[in-house]
A = this chain, B = another copy of it.
Amino acid sequence: MIKMSVYYPAEGGSKFDHDYYRTSHMPLIKERLGDACLRYEIDKGLAGREPGSAPAFVAACHVYSPSLETFQRAFAPHRAEIAADVANYTDIAPTVQISEVVGG
């Protein structure tokens, strides 16, 4: 199983609409990906290592998929539509990472 993670650095921009992200953007991705999205998870940054410190990321999402090929094949036809929706909730340029889920 792999996950595609998208991280929004707290220092990277001026706005992030958590409500829109949770209620519109992520459901859009799940709907478009279909079975290629096993599940997804949304993080809202609270703090860094020390209590009360600023988090590195204001938000993140993780989309779980059976394999990288499955994810890429399902995502490609919807890339433009999904990318066009980003301006509705943030101006932060995100960091994208693909990881293998190796244990837990």
Contacts and interface: CB of A to CB of B under 8 A. Distances in A.
Interface of A: 2-3, 5, 7, 18, 22, 26, 39-49, 51, 55-57, 60, 62, 68, 72, 95-104
Nearest to A26: B103
A72 B104 CA distance: 20
Contact of A100 (B46, B98, B101, B104): B46
Most chain B beta-carbon contacts within 10 A, residue among A95, A101, A104: A104
Contact of A103 (B3, B42, B96): B42
Given A57-B97, A97-B55, A22 B102 contact: yes
A24 to B, nearest CB: 11
B44 A95 contact: no
**3 A-B pairs with the lowest CB-CB distances in the bound complex, closest first:** A43-B99, A41-B104, A49-B96
Contacts of A39: 104
